[in-house]
Amino acid sequence: MNKTYMAKPDEIERKWYILDATDKPLGRLAAEAARILRGKHRPQFTPHVDTGDHVIVINAEKVILTGNKLKKKKYIRHSGYPGGLKVTGYDELLARRPELAVRKAIVGMLPHNRLGARMAKKLRVYRGENHPHQAQKPEVWSM
């Protein structure tokens, strides 16, 4: 009888990957980044273990939204106080803080528990081409 392989946290060798967001739809980019962060691209994927790699997203300001989403999609947050609802359109959010828009899309596709929080710590999002992770020798991930 064959035993199912379960990855152990100390056996995993993590790699670094760069995703270029230039002219990529936000959802497609987020799905691919979440897949890498979760580790689903590896043969030793184990659902209850963080088997994922580090992801660096560059050119976050060049991501695109298809259809009418740029005008209709809203970023909603609440301060916790009465009347503290803040609503921002994605056209303004992408102009002002594109890193937040990309990060929220990716983290929203990860598990919503402690495991997902650990996966989200391996995500770095940058505006423009430059990033401070050359020492990790990241590989370019083609989509």
Distance CA 31, CA 17 (A): 15
pLDDT in tens, the chain (143 residues): 788 889 999 999 999 999 999 999 999 999 999 999 999 999 999 999 999 999 999 999 999 999 999 999 999 999 999 999 999 999 999 999 999 999 999 999 999 999 999 999 999 999 999 999 999 999 999 98
Tell me the domains of the chain and their CATH numbers: 15-65+99-140 (3.90.1180.10)
Distance CA 101, CA 137 (A): 26
Extract the tokens encoding 27.
């959802």
Give the predicted TM-score (pTM) of the model.
0.93
